[in-house]
Amino acid sequence: MKGALACQDLIVGFGATEVLRGVTLSVPEQGITAVIGPSGCGKSTLLRCFNRMNDHLPGFFLRGKVWALGRDVYDPTWPVDSLRFAVGMVFQKPNPFPMSIAENVLFGPRLAGIRQREELRVILERSLRAAHLWDEVKDTLHASAFSLSGGQQQRLCIARALACQPRVLLLDEPSSALDPIATAALEETVSELASEVAVLWVTHDLQQAARVSQQVAFLYLGKLVEAGSTAEVFANPAQPLTEAYLTGKFG
Amino acid sequence: MSAPPVRVSEGLPSRAIAFAALVVALALMAGMLLVVVVGTAHGFWPRKLVAFTLADGSELLGEPWGEEPDPQAPGNRRVRLKVGNRDLLGQDFVFVRLAEVVAEAYPQDAVVLERWEYGNFYGFPVLLKYDGREVAPGDPQFEQALTAQLAKAYRITKRFATLRARITTAPSEEELAELNTLAAHLSSCNLTLRTASGVTKEITCGEVVRLWRPNRMGLGAQTLEFIRRLWQFLFSEPREANTEGGIFPALFGTAFLVMLMTVFVVPLGVLTAVYLREYAKDNAFTRGVRMAVSTLAGVPSIVFGAFGLAFFVYQVGGAVDRLFFAANLPTPTFGTGGVLWASLTMALLTLPVVVVASEEGLSAAPPEVRDGARALGATRWETLRRVVFPYAKPGILTGVILAVARAAGEVAPLMLTGVVKLAPSLPLDGTPPFLHLERKFMHLGFHIYDVGFQSPNIEAARPMIFATTLVLLLLVVVLNLLALIFRNKARKALEGGVL
């Protein structure tokens, strides 16, 4: 399979419930791919398959194939911690760690064993600049991450993910806890990043998907209904179900 | 149609009852504190010396320790008088019926001698002999010579004691020579005193701890004396079966025990909690473990003491002796109570508190923050150490606070595992290997019991009981405050601000 992320005939469930029922999808190496669909359709579960974050959940099972960066995520020679380090993830709620802003960003690099001050300083500045946060925090790098606003915290989480220099970013409804201004700032930040990394962006906000994404995938009840370029899908949905969802008949 | 029912409120005035309960609880606590503080102040404040002349012509000199109704003569009152001079009179306290007192005076030249043995001596100085010279109280040099000679004798006595404590086997020739010189110095100085009843008594200067004249003291001097006594109480060794001197070994023993216990219980309790909360699945086993832990919290402390004696002292200690100290057998080294076994027993006793509090602390870390760390590739352990632990710290410290407060106050388990009424040496001192975990130790809680209920001279020891209780209370408060400060610091660090 080609692309930064891909899955084939992916079936995932917990205990007796199947959440994903045969999903095949490929995510290109640049640009933003949005995953849309009504609540409970399996968007987040799909996203979390690519860095194996579902594995600890009770009753988890998976059939089918999942690739990240061209490699099978269940390749026994690829430890799960290395996979997760290579695939960045940002969560629904900002989740800064209880440490300083700088230490939040450097969490990943320190795990990777980087100890040199100069190298860490370069990574810190580059990651915070890429997340459009540098100018706001450059004088308070040693303040607690909890002193930031919600929007800043979420951009800090992006910077934290970027500090590991991932080639893929998984965003799980990252703006759902943010106000419109912070959301706009976040969208601008990620759009700029997308020229270099692949972004898979789960959102329940159709306008947001239309604004930011180049590709879109519509999931419904654990099945991929339609996928394609955002302009195409929003203008001329091939499936009547997609059209019904896009026009607000359900969801 | 019948009339609709009418609701008549018959509730108790719950607010008033609850408030009354609060008042009673506060009054009890304040009362306890008041009794202890007043008892201490009462016992340590320097008293004037009163000289009574009785109807039969006899004279008494001593410190008045309160008036009370005379049970033998209804309507009359009597004074409890501390007359000291135990070596002459046999007891420290006598009762004086006020009806029999014909004259009462506060003689200016009456002195109190605090002695290393036989308690206080009350009387009037008659003659000081030192280095072949003799000085009487009328002499202008008397005061100066008395102060200087007693101070010198005090220093020599101290030196003598240290030297003798250091010599464990046969003394070397130099040591023997020094001991002899010191002894000669001590015996060259003598103070002759007259008691109220006219008996003359010669006391060598080396017997005296301090001499003072309470009837010449103003308020300032009394306050100084009061502070000096409290200081001496805290930082000197006990004498005369713990009824005199200080409580330093007990204070040190308590603090040492608590710290050693903390060293044992914190890692054990926290790691147990980590396993239960972070690794174990929720099944019958973990539920059973949790139930066992909370049951352990309700087990009477004497049971822990019995277990500590049977397991730590006899089993483990006995095995250690057979393996490493076989040369000393049958004299046990670790096979008898000691501070190590006592602190391990206390660690077991306080384990449930630490486990429960740590578990609560660990659950304070939000799942999304754990996920965040895992998503960056952190292992369980890295997540725990760097992300979860800061959240758990306040909870863990709460557990430590509770454990420390409990351990400082427990006595029953210690009585079986190594506490003694008088320990010859501290568990931490200057002789290698410096840390003597096998040694028996003294403890404030046990000290209260011993001085209060096992003492041969209960009247003389009364101030010591109150003061020891006060010190124990203060120690618990201080330990609590320390832990509280740490906890609030951890909380503040978590809530934001500069780290």
CATH number of domain containing B388: 1.10.3720.10
Contact B358, B386 (CB under 8 A): no
Q: What percent of chain B has pLDDT over 70?
A: 98
Chain A residues with CB under 8 Å of B369 CB are 95-98
User: Is A147–B497 a contact, with Cβ atoms under 8 angstroms apart?
Assistant: yes
Confidence check: pLDDT of B140 > 80: yes
**Which residue of B371, B376, B495 is in closest CB contact with A146?**
B495
What are the tens digits of pLDDT across the range B354-395? 999 999 999 988 989 999 999 998 988 899 999 999 899 888
B382: which chain A residues are within 8 Å (Cβ-Cβ)? 111
A51 contacts in chain B (CB < 8 Å) = 375
Contact A81 B369 (CB under 8 A): no
- Say if residue B258 is in the same domain as residue B209: no
Q: Residue B8 domain-assigned?
A: no
Cβ separation A51–B375 shorter than 8 A: yes
Query: Tokens 């061209």 identify what position?
Result: A70
Identify whether the C-beta of residue A44 lies closer than 8 Å to the C-beta of residue B371.
Answer: no
- Per-residue pLDDT tens digits for A198-245: 999 999 889 999 999 999 999 999 899 999 999 999 999 999 999 999
Q: What is the pLDDT of residue B171?
A: 73
CB-based contact B377 A82, cutoff 8 Å: yes
Task: Provide the Cα torsion B425, B431, B436, B440; round to 10°.
Answer: -10
Non-local (6+) Cβ contacts of A170 within 8 A are A47, A48, A50, A51, A87, A88, A89, A90, A200, A202
What CA–CA distances, in Å, run from B393 to A85, A162, B266, B272, B457? 27, 29, 12, 15, 48
Interface test with A, best of B282, B379, B387, B499 (most A CBs within 10 A): B499
Give ∠ CA A80-A83-A88 in degrees, rounded to 5: 125
In a domain, B129, yes or no: yes
Distances (CA, A) of B400 to B263, B310, B397, B404, B410: 10, 26, 5, 6, 15
Query: Would the CB atoms of B376 and A107 count as touching at under 8 Å?
Result: yes
Count structural domains, chain B: 2
Last residue of a domain, one of B217, B239, B266: B217
- B18 occurs within a structural domain: no
Does B40 map to a domain?
A: no
Residues of chain A positioned with their CB less than 8 A from the CB of B493: 98, 144
Nearest chain A Cα to B378, which residue? Answer: A81
> Is B293 within the bounds of a domain?
yes
- Chain A residues within 8 Å of chain B (Cβ atoms): 51, 53, 56, 81-85, 88-89, 91-93, 95-100, 107-108, 111, 142-144, 146-147, 157, 160-161, 164
Phi and psi torsions of B434, nearest 5°: 70, -45
Residues of A whose CB is below 8 A from B375: 51, 53, 84, 88-89, 91, 161
Point out the domain boundary residue: B169, B194, B217.
Answer: B217
CA-CA distance, A184 to A175, in Å (whole number)?
A: 9
CA-nearest residue of chain A to B392? A98
Q: Do A143 and B499 touch (CB under 8 A)?
A: yes
Residue range of the domain that includes B372: 248-495
Q: What are the structural domains, with CATH classification, of chain A?
A: 5-246 (3.40.50.300)
Contact A85 B497 (CB under 8 A): no
Statement to judge: residues B306 and B177 lie in one domain: no
Contact present, B280 and B313 (Cβ < 8 Å)? no
Write down the residue that tokens 């003389």 correspond to: B460
| pLDDT above 80: residue A31 | yes
In angstroms, the separation between the Cα of residue B388 and the nearest Cα of chain A is 9
Q: Kindly state whether residues B288 and B199 are assigned to the same domain.
A: no
Mutation target among A144, A170, A172, A200 for the B interface, most CBs of B within 10 A? A144
Give the mean pLDDT of B67-77: 86
Helical ranges in B45-126 per DSSP H = 86-89
pLDDT at position B496 is: 60
CA distance A246 to chain B (A): 31
Q: Which residues contact A160 (CB under 8 A, 6 or more apart)?
A: A96, A104, A105, A107, A108, A127, B372, B376
B187 lies in the same domain as B263: no
Are B376 and A108 in contact by the 8 Å Cβ rule? The answer is yes
Q: What is the mean pLDDT of residues B270-286?
A: 89
Residues B211 and B277 occupy one common structural domain: no
Distance CA B480, CA B406 (A): 10
Let me know: does A71 contact A168? Beta carbons within 8 Å: no
| Interval A62-89 mean pLDDT | 91
Identify the pLDDT of residue B388: 92
Task: Quickly list H helices, A22-79.
Answer: 43-49
Q: Do A143 and B495 touch (CB under 8 A)?
A: no
The distance of A112 to chain B (nearest Cα, Å) reads: 9
B178: which residues sit within 8 A by CB, 6+ positions away?
B163
Among A45-49, A125-129, B12-16, B95-99, name the one with the lowest average pLDDT: B12-16
Say which of A89, A143, A147 has its CB closest to residue B375: A89
- The C-alpha of A150 sits at a distance from chain B's nearest C-alpha, in angstroms, of 14
List CB contacts (< 8 A) between A99 and chain B: 386, 390, 499
Average pLDDT over residues B322-339: 81
pLDDT (average), residues A131-159: 90
Tell me, yes or no, whether B79 and B191 share the same domain.
Answer: yes
What percent of chain B is modeled with pLDDT above 90?
29
**CA end-to-end distance (rounded Å), chain A:** 31
Chain B residues with CB-CB distance to A53 below 8 A:
371, 374-375
Residue B226 CB partners (closer than 8 Å, separation 6+): B44, B45, B46
Q: Between the CA of residue B94 and those of B42, B49, B85, B464, what are the distances in Å?
A: 19, 14, 12, 20
- Under an 8 A CB cutoff, do B377 and A164 touch? yes
How does DSSP classify residue B359? H
% of chain A beyond a pLDDT of 90:
57
Residue B498 has pLDDT above 60, yes or no: no
Q: Do B208 and B270 lie in a common domain?
A: no
* Same-domain check for residues B120 and B60: yes
Size of interface A-B (CB pairs under 8 A): 81
Nearest CB among B369, B387, B496 relative to A144 is that of B496
- pLDDT at position A130 over 90: no
Q: Examine residue B9 and state whether it is found in any structural domain, yes or no.
A: no
Query: Distance between terminal CA atoms of chain B?
Result: 74
List the single best residue of B278, B376, B383, B391 to mutate versus A (max A Cβ within 10 A): B376
- Match 């692949």 to its residue by tokens: A198
**From the CB of residue B377, how many other CB atoms can be counted at a distance below 10 Å?**
22
pLDDT at position B1 is: 67
**Average pLDDT rounded to a whole number, residues B295-306:** 91
Q: Is residue B183 part of a domain?
A: yes
Check pLDDT > 50 for residue B499.
no
Domain-ending residue, one of B197, B217, B237: B217
Residue B7 in 3-state DSSP? coil
Pairing type for strands B50-54 and B59-69 reads: antiparallel
Q: State how far residue B368 is from chain A, nearest Cα, in angstroms.
A: 6
**Cβ pair B493:A144 closer than 8 A:** yes
**Strands, DSSP E only, in chain A?**
5-14, 17-27, 31-36, 60-68, 71-72, 87-90, 168-172, 198-202, 215-220, 223-229
What is the rounded distance in angstroms from the CA atom of residue B347 to the CA atom of residue B307?
12
**Mean pLDDT (whole number) for A122-136:** 91
Closest chain B residue to the Cα of A145, Cα to Cα? B496
Q: From B369, which residue of chain A is nearest by alpha-carbon distance?
A: A95
Could B390 and A84 be called an inter-chain contact, meaning their C-beta atoms sit closer than 8 Å?
no
What average pLDDT score do residues B42-55 get?
90
Q: Are residues B79 and B175 in the same domain?
A: yes
Q: What is the pLDDT of residue B278?
A: 85
Sheet containing A223-229: give its strands across. Answer: A87-90, A168-172, A198-202, A31-36, A215-220, A223-229
Same domain, B68 and B208: yes
Report d(CA B171, CA B55) in Å as an integer: 57
Coil vs helix vs strand at A33: strand
Min Cα–Cα distance to chain A from B492, Å: 10
Q: CA B328, CA B337: separation in Å to the nearest integer?
A: 16
Residue B170: pLDDT above 80?
A: no
Identify whether residues B275 and B411 lie together within a single domain: yes
Q: How far is A228 from chain B (nearest CA, A)?
A: 28
Distance from CA of B387 to the nearest CA of A (A): 6
- Binned at pLDDT 50, 70 and 90, residue A2 comes out as low
* Three-state DSSP class for residue B278: helix
B161 found inside a domain = yes
B310, B434: one domain: yes
**Chain B residue at shortest CA distance from A148:** B496
C-beta atoms of A108 and B376 within 8 A: yes
Question: Cα angle at B177 between B176 and B181, to 5 degrees?
Answer: 120
Which residues of A fall within a CB distance of 8 Å from B499? 99-100, 142-144
Q: Do B498 and A142 touch (CB under 8 A)?
A: yes
B117-129 average pLDDT score: 88
